[in-house]
Structure 1
Amino acid sequence: MKKIIFIALAVISVSCNTATPEKYFDVSVLNTNMLSGFAGQGFARELESPSATMAPGSNQLTQMSREQVIKDKIEFSETTLAKIKALRQTPETEKMLKTSIALYEYILPVCKKEYMDLAKDYDESGVSEKTSQQLENINRKYFKGFQQLMEQLIQIGKDYASKNSIPVNWGR
């Protein structure tokens, strides 16, 4: 009897510790939409024309600081990376999770240093020759590595979604 109870508890424990295929896909692949434009025109546009937000305690819109834009990206990326690392790797998800982790670990140091420095310069002096040069340096230095990781993850994600019947519109 004790063996049956132990086996039942083990099965329940394992089944509770496994996320659905959709959860794996959403966290490790779909969330990378927030990284779109890294080391390219997308991030450049966000820094040149940051979003507006409600001013605290009023109904007035105010432009976000570029520093806040980058801080938000860093916070989102760190939270997502922690969620990915918390997912249990399986033979089917291992490559997808490792590639997603590599992607976030690639962009985070760049956001924390180069993009944060750039954002501070934008906030202090707006678009200038210095900010344009900084942006060009980031793009030249990091775009290729980012693109390779992103394309690899998207292909792995497509295969995973297809294998698990996850409906995805890849924007094509």
Structure 2
Amino acid sequence: MSLDMLFLDEQSTLIHRSINSSRVDTFRRRLSEGSIYSLSGFNVARSNPKFRLSDSPVSIRLNDETFFETKTDSDKDIPTEIFRFHSHEQLLALTNTNRELPDIVGEVSSVRSTITDGLRGPQRVMVTLRLEEDVNVCVSMFDDRAVTFQTKFDEHISKPKGTLH
């Protein structure tokens, strides 16, 4: 698993950024939301068409050589209107409207699995995501998706965060 974020370049283009799970703790301490950085020493790769957080054809991958310099003297403003953040109530209002398919980001608070429990029958994983302090969502996955999720979850070293698409 990895930590996926969105970067905004000088032309206000959203670019997907991925940090390998083994480097998450290293970069988490060096980055803060809403800050402006000069970035060097990163890899550029084609965006995965099955997992795209932005329209950009490329994504950025941070590595051990990546260097951040905080820009405190920048006159640039971050155009927050291009990010569509919603409260839990707003997400509920979008249910079954077919107007927008928002991403849901939350902390994995529990995982129940027929795979690890050794139960026979269909493979099923139920993940509880904490969206806010008192708002939890249960997500169910079946068959191949359940096995894929469980495999990646088991390989993860630290407590994962989740993004649901």
TM over 0.5: no
Greater RCO, 1 or 2 (C-alpha within 8 Å, sep 6+) = 1
- Classify the TM-score, shorter chain: under 0.3
Structure with bigger helix share is 1
Structure with bigger strand share is 2
Taking structure 1 as the reference length, the TM-score comes to 0.26
